[in-house]
């Protein structure tokens, strides 16, 4: 496939589009916030399965009768599987056992699938660690790209990554999807994936800047994007294929993970085309920025 | 070469694990022997249970079965007869052939989310351990100053400091000298941070950072040991009890189904009771009889009145007395010291007993309404005398037990004392329980999504790239084999997110090949002949592939560093996947394409 799409002609619209998405995401994040999963919020979660479809109203009544007030009862996966979440600020680790006991007393066929308890302290620690890890990853990538390419590329790459991460977070906030540890893992995998794309495009831009003189920067960028487009699309397709396999057949415990990655691959593909190129042109990249450095010996002449 | 290593080490995963039963003596100090082995063999033979093999393996007896039904029948039979003598636990035993084992091969370890089981994270409350230490330290110095006739105006504990104020300069200087003399740990580092104010005759004392670290290590180490002993009691096949960070302990019990019972045993506390020996004239109502092996009668009477219990013990260690005999040093907190002083005052010459109190479980064979055998677990409290020694002086916060026999016996007694007095309280801060059915379900779903993902990528590549796609597919397949091989070799644990990592790697692994193929296409378009185009395609794509993969590797290493449990599993598979996919895509595909097109004069090349 040969492409010759004038991507850079539309770059203003893309910028506006990205900015709108980013504003929406930041807005949703600051007003609505993330629906933090158990890993980060702390509390108790218990999953049980029944032989037949479970009566959620009955279970809710049972919970209320046993003195619980801040809890959620939902179906998980199938209608015979039930997930109960209890927010508990005191960090009582016995709740799961207590709940399972009265559920089993009410219906002996109740089968325990899992209990998770995360103390409030651990929750906030995981939260801090996750945020810090994200920043460390971005920082190290910035350094590596700056070292291998040039700082303008590094800024472009990190801007693209931040763009992807913020939009995924925004979507999770907007749709009130649970944000837990596996989603955080997916987010870091998105960083890895999107970076992959970005590097491939940047690499081609660098090569074309060095190899061909006498073109406008936006022409060179445009051609580089077109040259790498078929590879970008094919890799996105194969990755999406496996992610959909995971989403459809992988079970409910990693649904959030595959959701985050699917969005991430879509947004990441877009950002490696537009965000990086936009940043580079915005920072007015020139051929001199990418000139192959003079042989080292030349520098010594300038030394006093 | 690398591929063949990958193939060999991924082989063990093809041998299914066999249901097995693990049998060990309840007394964890005793390793399984021929006697127990024969007993097990006899029991299984009597019950006509179809057992495949029975043998000794690292202090345990392992009986393998062909089916899960046989395994359950075997367990019931063994438990009925062995009861409390041995711990009988269900297990899965890998059937890796001997030659693979010899070169270090073995199947993948499954994480808790795949095998089912419990994960606990316990936090040791260091602050309260520190508080206890400070309390008893305050008491020690008060006593010392009294003995040395140093006039203390006031002394108190203020948060993490001890504050002493003295009546005169002379008292102040004497006290300061004592503090300075004591201010050294066995390692030579300062024990205290001292703040002396000579104008106001005030001395403030706090534990130094290194001393706090030592107290913390002691408390965590102590709790760790106690936990290990308790977990052994559960008879879990591959338990993990590990320190995590500075003050946390992870306990993982794969395959445990009754979590409530597990939690009870882990969370239970052994205790100590210090009681005076009852005089022969004491009425029956006020004394109790306990077994005591050193006595001619085999038992001894203690008063019912408890002087001090385990929570008052802050430390116990073994050492030597002036004449070189083994002894045990015990330190109590302030309240305990006061009680001990009151009780021993006027009772010099009588004997002081130490009772070890433990909650234990017992299996009892009963019959239910239908006349079936049922094994019931009941818990009971066991009290046993671990020391009975003559009081030679009025005791306070710190005293010693001499005449305890060999240094070995002294350290055992100290260990028991410490086990009875949990060095610092613990609380559960995280708990994850995965039922066995969910674990099995997760494996099935995971394997299914790997297969579907792999097949759809293979189909797509074949459709889009034809013969080149075929080469890429072989590389992809080799990649999956390599990932499982290396993970088995490294002993990494496979978790559900780990499976997700493998699936993701499958999708991303073809990327390197796609890069190479599109380069070859471009070279062909520029009018290069096929052989040169292939050469150029590989070499020009190489730099891009390395850059792209190194950055992804950075992200996954960060993920490994910050992640816990399942997320770490994802990071491991992703990192291994990146490395192996670089290898297979660059070298593997090249080899295959050379095989297909090398040395041939191709006129036309379709990529």
Domains observed in chain A: 7-36+122-290 (1.20.1640.10), 43-118 (3.30.70.120)
Residue A35: both structure tokens together: 């629906």
pLDDT value of residue A295: 46
pLDDT value of residue B279: 81
Percent of residues, chain A, with pLDDT higher than 70: 93
CA B560, B563, B568, B574 dihedral sign is: negative
Contacts of A51 in chain B (CB under 8 A): none
Residues B426 and B454 in one domain: no
In a domain, B387, yes or no: yes
Query: Does residue B464 sit in helix, strand or coil?
Result: helix
Residue A203 to residue B564, Cβ atoms within 8 A? no
Q: Is the pLDDT of residue B55 over 90?
A: no
Q: What is the pLDDT of residues B214-235, one digit of tens each?
A: 888 878 887 887 788 777 766 6
- What average pLDDT does range B571-598 have in this prediction? 85
Q: How far is CA A203 from CA A148, A208, B541, in A?
A: 10, 9, 10
Unique residue bearing structure tokens 């946390």: B248
Residue pair A90/A130 in contact (Cβ under 8 Å)? The answer is no
Rounded CA-CA distance A189/A192 in Å is 5
Residue pair A164/A268 in contact (Cβ under 8 Å)? The answer is yes
Q: What is the pLDDT of residues A100-148, one digit of tens each?
A: 888 888 888 888 888 888 887 788 888 888 888 888 888 888 888 888 8
In a domain, B522, yes or no: yes
- What average pLDDT does range B270-288 have in this prediction? 80
CATH at B476? 1.20.1640.10
Contacts of A258 in chain B (CB under 8 A): 500
- Measured from the Cβ of residue B378, the count of other Cβ atoms closer than 10 Å reads 10
**What angle is formed at CA B183 by the lines to CA B181 and CA B186, rounded to 5 degrees?**
105
Choosing from B109, B124, B139, the residue where a domain stops is B124
A-facing residues of B in 244-283 (CB < 8 A) are 259-260, 263
Rounded CA-CA distance A238/A234 in Å is 6
- The nearest CA of chain B is from the CA of A190 a distance in Å of 9
Confidence of residue A22 (pLDDT cuts 50, 70, 90): very high
Cα Rg of chain B (Å, integer): 33
- What average pLDDT does range B329-348 have in this prediction? 85
Range of the domain at B102: 16-124
Q: What is the pLDDT of residues B125-184, one digit of tens each?
A: 888 778 777 877 787 788 788 888 888 888 888 888 889 998 888 889 888 888 888 887
Choosing from B195, B210, B225, the residue where a domain stops is B210
- Ranked by mean pLDDT, the top range of A47-51, A95-99, B301-305 is A47-51
Rounded CA-CA distance B338/B587 in Å is 77
B-facing residues of A in 85-104 (CB < 8 A) are 91, 93, 96-97, 101
In a domain, B362, yes or no: yes
Rounded CA-CA distance B484/B490 in Å is 10
Residue B431 to residue A115, Cβ atoms within 8 A? yes
Residues B36 and B158 in one domain: no
Q: B565-583 and B530-562 helices cross at what angle (nearest 10)?
A: 160
Residue A116 to residue B433, Cβ atoms within 8 A? yes
B-facing residues of A in 240-269 (CB < 8 A) are 240-243, 245-246, 248-251, 253-254, 257-258, 261
In a domain, B587, yes or no: yes
CATH at B103? 3.30.70.260
Residue B437 to residue A49, Cβ atoms within 8 A? yes
- What average pLDDT does range B353-371 have in this prediction? 69
Going by the DSSP 8-state scheme, the letter that residue B277 receives in this structure is B
Domains in chain B, number? 4
Residue pair B201/B170 in contact (Cβ under 8 Å)? The answer is no
Residues B118 and B132 in one domain: no
Residues recorded for chain B: 607
Residues B54 and B169 in one domain: no
Contacts of A126 in chain B (CB under 8 A): 564
- Measured from the Cβ of residue A247, the count of other Cβ atoms closer than 10 Å reads 17
Residue B435 to residue A192, Cβ atoms within 8 A? no
Residues B291 and B394 in one domain: yes
Using the Cβ of B448 and the Cβ atoms of chain A, whether some distance falls under 8 Å is answered with yes
Contacts of A246 in chain B (CB under 8 A): 449, 453, 500, 503-504
Choosing from B411, B432, B453, the residue where a domain stops is B432
Q: Is the pLDDT of residue A301 over 50?
A: no
A-facing residues of B in 407-446 (CB < 8 A) are 427-435, 437-438, 441-442, 445-446
- The nearest CA of chain A is from the CA of B246 a distance in Å of 14
pLDDT value of residue B368: 66
Residues B516 and B441 in one domain: yes
Residues B301 and B417 in one domain: yes
Residues B275 and B330 in one domain: yes
In a domain, B218, yes or no: no
Which of A202, A221, A168, A198 has the alpha carbon at shortest distance from A28? A168
B-facing residues of A in 138-177 (CB < 8 A) are 140-141, 144-145, 148
Confidence of residue B383 (pLDDT cuts 50, 70, 90): confident
Nearest beta carbon to residue B503 from set A181, A184, A242: A242
Mutation to test the B interface, candidates A254, A257, A262, A292, most B Cβ within 10 Å: A254
- Measured from the Cβ of residue B348, the count of other Cβ atoms closer than 10 Å reads 12
- Name the pTM for this structure: 0.73
Residue B561 to residue A133, Cβ atoms within 8 A? yes
In a domain, B604, yes or no: no
- Measured from the Cβ of residue A72, the count of other Cβ atoms closer than 10 Å reads 13
Residues B109 and B153 in one domain: no
Q: Is the pLDDT of residue A297 over 50?
A: no
Confidence of residue B77 (pLDDT cuts 50, 70, 90): confident
**What is the β-pairing status of strands B109-110 and B493-494?**
parallel
Residues B560 and B460 in one domain: yes
Residues B400 and B479 in one domain: no
Residues B87 and B69 in one domain: yes
- B372 Cβ partners below 8 Å, 6+ apart? none
Chain centroid to Cα B325, Å, comes to 36
Q: Which is more confident, B436 or A5? A: A5
Query: Does residue B579 sit in helix, strand or coil?
Result: helix
Rounded CA-CA distance B373/B68 in Å is 20
CA B495, B497, B501, B506 dihedral sign is: positive
Measured between alpha carbons, how far apart are the two ends of chain B, in Å? Answer: 28
Chain centroid to Cα A105, Å, comes to 42
In a domain, B260, yes or no: no
In a domain, B224, yes or no: no
Residue B4: both structure tokens together: 């063949």
pLDDT value of residue B466: 85
- A88 Cβ partners below 8 Å, 6+ apart? A42, A43, A44, A70, A95
């Amino acid at each position: 496939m040969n492409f010759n799409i004038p991507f850079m002609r539309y770059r203003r619209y893309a910028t506006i589009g990205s900015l709108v998405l980013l504003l929406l995401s930041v807005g949703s994040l600051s007003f609505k916030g993330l629906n933090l999963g158990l890993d980060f919020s702390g509390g108790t979660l218990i999953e049980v399965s029944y032989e037949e479809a479970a009566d959620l109203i009955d279970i809710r009544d049972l919970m209320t009768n046993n003195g619980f007030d801040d809890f959620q009862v939902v179906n998980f996966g199938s209608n015979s599987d039930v997930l109960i979440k209890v927010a508990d600020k005191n960090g009582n680790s016995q709740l799961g056992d207590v709940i399972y006991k009265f559920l089993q007393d009410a219906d002996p066929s109740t089968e325990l699938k899992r209990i998770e308890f995360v103390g409030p302290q651990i929750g906030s620690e995981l939260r801090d660690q996750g945020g810090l890890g994200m920043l460390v990853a971005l920082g190290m990538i910035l350094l590596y790209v700056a070292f291998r390419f040039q700082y303008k590329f590094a800024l472009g790459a990190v801007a693209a990554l931040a763009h992807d991460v913020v939009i995924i977070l925004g979507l999770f906030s907007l749709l009130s999807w649970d944000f837990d540890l596996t989603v955080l893992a997916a987010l870091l995998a998105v960083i890895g994936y999107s970076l992959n794309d970005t590097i491939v495009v940047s690499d081609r831009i660098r090569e074309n800047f060095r190899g061909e003189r006498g073109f406008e920067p936006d022409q060179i960028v445009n051609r580089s994007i077109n040259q790498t487009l078929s590879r970008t699309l094919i890799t996105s397709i194969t990755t999406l294929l496996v992610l959909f396999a995971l989403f459809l057949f992988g079970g409910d415990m990693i649904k959030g993970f595959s959701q985050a990655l699917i969005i991430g691959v879509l947004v990441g593909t877009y950002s490696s085309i537009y965000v990086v190129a936009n940043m580079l042109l915005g920072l007015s990249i020139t051929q001199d920025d990418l000139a192959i450095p003079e042989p080292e010996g030349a520098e010594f002449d300038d030394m006093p | 070469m690398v591929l063949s290593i990958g193939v060999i080490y991924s082989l063990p995963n093809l041998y299914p694990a066999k249901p097995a039963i693990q049998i060990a003596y309840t007394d964890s100090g005793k390793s399984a022997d021929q006697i127990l082995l024969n007993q097990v063999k006899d029991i299984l033979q009597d019950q006509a249970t179809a057992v495949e093999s029975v043998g000794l393996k690292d202090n345990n007896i392992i009986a393998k079965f062909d089916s899960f039904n046989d395994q359950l029948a075997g367990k019931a039979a063994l438990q009925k007869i062995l009861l409390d003598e041995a711990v009988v636990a269900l297990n899965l035993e890998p059937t890796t052939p001997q030659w693979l084992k010899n070169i270090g091969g073995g199947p993948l370890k499954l994480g808790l989310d795949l095998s089912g089981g419990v994960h606990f994270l316990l936090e040791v409350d260091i602050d309260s351990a520190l508080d206890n230490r400070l309390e008893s330290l305050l008491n020690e110095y008060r006593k010392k100053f009294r003995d040395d006739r140093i006039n203390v105006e006031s002394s108190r504990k203020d948060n993490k400091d001890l504050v002493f104020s003295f009546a005169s300069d002379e008292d102040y200087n004497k006290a300061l000298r004592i503090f300075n003399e004591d201010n050294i740990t066995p390692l030579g580092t300062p024990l205290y941070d001292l703040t002396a104010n000579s104008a106001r005759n005030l001395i403030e004392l706090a534990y130094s950072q290194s001393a706090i670290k030592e107290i913390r290590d002691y408390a965590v180490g102590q709790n760790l040991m106690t936990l290990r002993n308790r977990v052994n009691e559960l008879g879990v096949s591959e338990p993990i009890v590990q320190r995590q960070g500075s003050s946390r302990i992870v306990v993982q019990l794969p395959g445990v189904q009754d979590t409530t019972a597990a939690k009870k045993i882990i969370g239970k506390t052994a205790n100590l009771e210090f009681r005076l020996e009852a005089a022969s004239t004491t009425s029956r109502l006020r004394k109790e009889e306990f077994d005591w092996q050193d006595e001619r009668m085999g038992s001894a009477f203690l008063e019912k009145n408890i002087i001090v219990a385990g929570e008052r013990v802050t430390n116990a260690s073994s050492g030597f007395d002036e004449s070189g005999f083994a002894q045990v040093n015990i330190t109590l907190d302030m309240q305990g010291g006061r009680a001990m002083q009151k009780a021993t005052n006027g009772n010099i010459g009588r004997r002081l007993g130490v009772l070890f109190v433990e909650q234990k479980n017992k299996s009892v064979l009963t019959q239910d309404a239908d006349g079936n055998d049922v094994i019931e677990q009941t818990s009971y409290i066991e009290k046993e005398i671990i020391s009975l020694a003559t009081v030679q002086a009025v005791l306070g916060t710190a005293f010693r037990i001499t005449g305890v026999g060999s240094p070995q016996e002294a350290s055992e007694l100290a260990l028991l004392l410490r086990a009875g007095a949990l060095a610092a309280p613990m609380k559960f801060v995280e708990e994850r329980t995965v039922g066995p059915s969910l674990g099995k379900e997760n494996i099935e779903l995971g394997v299914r999504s790997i297969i579907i993902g792999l097949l759809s990528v293979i189909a797509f590549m074949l459709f889009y790239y034809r013969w080149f796609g075929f080469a890429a597919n072989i590389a992809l397949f080799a990649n999956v084999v390599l990932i499982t091989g290396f993970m088995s070799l490294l002993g990494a644990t496979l978790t559900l997110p780990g499976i997700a990592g493998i699936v993701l790697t499958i999708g991303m692994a073809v990327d390197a090949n796609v890069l190479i193929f599109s380069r070859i296409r471009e070279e062909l378009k520029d009018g290069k002949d096929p052989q040169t185009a292939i050469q150029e395609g590989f070499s020009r794509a190489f730099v891009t592939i390395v850059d792209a993969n190194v950055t992804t590797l950075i992200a996954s290493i960060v993920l490994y560093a910050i992640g816990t449990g399942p997320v770490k599993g994802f990071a491991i598979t992703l990192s291994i996947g990146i490395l192996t996919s670089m290898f297979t895509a660059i070298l593997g595909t090249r080899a295959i394409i050379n095989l297909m097109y090398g040395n041939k004069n191709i006129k036309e090349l379709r990529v």
